[in-house]
Amino acid sequence: MGLEACLFDLDGVLVDTAKYHYLAWKQLANSLGFDFSEEENEQLKGISRVESLRKILAWGGVDFPQERQDELAALKNGWYVEMISEMTANEVLPGSIKLLEELKSNHIKIGLGSASKNAKLILDNTGLIPYFDALVDGNIVNKSKPDPAVFLKGAELLNVDPKSCVVFEDASAGVEAALRAEMKAIGIGAEKDLGKAHLVVSDLTHIDLKTIQNLF
Ligand code: B16
Ligand code: MG
């Protein structure tokens, strides 16, 4: 079976929103009286908002009833949304547009598979929305990666067999989700973190249609 569709994770693949997540989580941690490091932030890549909060509270050695946790998550999200509202097309990561253009002109379907509930806003602000034939985000699927649901839903909406899909992911949980969905996985980042992927590159400038087709 050959390539029919490409599914892209958002944060860490097409845009670097991890830096805004970090600033907003740090502001929240500081308001609760503890700090939060960039190393800890690395562990939140691809992890949902509620799970991220749980980890941060544990690192800070504090715990709150669910109702208070919901308020804290909403507070962080308000700050985060303020930051991403300022994003522009300049923040699209290198190689993204060239690859999306090449896929489009070759009639390969393009889908989003992100854990973020803010994905639509980010795609709108960065001008990426017209490239997508289907969007699957944290509002549509609530099972977190490594559960394959987010990518399987993408294949379903694009009306393609999962085995004909390639996933681009920067998080090891996302690579795992792609493999569980029986899709090809291209890791964006370091071999040591994403070694299970079929191919690992540092960014999308290293990928063209031929490289993707060679995986089949
Ligand atoms: P939100 P991705 C993920 O995006 C981020 O990597 C992760 O850090 C974040 O907690 C998650 O989205 C949820 O984001 O708070 O905006 O719903 O990598 O799956 O595109
Ligand atoms: Mg990601």
pLDDT digits (tens, 9 = 90+) for 190-207: 999 899 999 999 999 999
Whole-number Å distance, alpha carbon 66 to ligand 2 midpoint, is 26
Whole-number Å distance, alpha carbon 9 to ligand 1 midpoint, is 9
pTM: 0.94
CA 52 to ligand 1: nearest atom: 10
Atom 14 (ligand 1): residue with closest C-alpha?
A: 116
Collect contacts of 195-203 with beta carbons under 8 A, ≥24 apart. 196/172, 197/169, 203/93, 203/94, 203/95
Task: Determine the average pLDDT of the residues in 99-127.
Answer: 98
pLDDT the model gives residue 1:
76
pLDDT the model gives residue 61:
97
60 burial (CB, 10 Å; 0-12 / 13-18 / 19+) is middle
Residues 6+ apart with CB under 8 A from 25: 36, 41, 44, 52, 56, 76
Q: Which of 11, 137, 170, 203 is catalytic?
A: 11
Atom 8 (ligand 1): residue with closest C-alpha?
A: 45
pLDDT the model gives residue 154:
98
Whole-number Å distance, alpha carbon 169 to ligand 2 midpoint, is 6
Predicted confidence (pLDDT) per residue in 31-77, tens digit: 999 998 888 888 898 889 999 999 999 999 999 999 999 999 999 99
Residue 73 tokens, joined: 């998550």
Measured distance CA(176)–CA(212) in Å, rounded: 18
Q: How many residues does this entry show for the chain?
A: 216
Q: Which segments within the chain are labelled E, that is strand? A: 5-8, 109-113, 134-136, 165-169, 184-188, 199-201
pLDDT the model gives residue 37:
87
Does residue 133 have an active-site annotation? no
Angle 172-180/149-158 helices, nearest 10 degrees? 60
pLDDT the model gives residue 68:
97
185, pLDDT greater than 90: yes
Pocket of ligand 1 (CB under 6 A): 9-12, 21, 44-49, 52, 77, 114-118, 138, 171
Does residue 9 have an active-site annotation? yes
CA 51 to ligand 1: nearest atom: 10
User: Given ligand 1 and candidates 7, 17, 25, 80, which is best to mutate, with the most ligand atoms within 8 Å of its CB?
Assistant: 17
Angle 66-84/49-59 helices, nearest 10 degrees? 110
- What are residue 201's phi and psi, to 5 degrees? -130, 160
Measured distance CA(18)–CA(22) in Å, rounded: 6
DSSP 14: T
Measured distance CA(80)–CA(112) in Å, rounded: 20
CA 115 to ligand 1: nearest atom: 19
pLDDT the model gives residue 150:
97
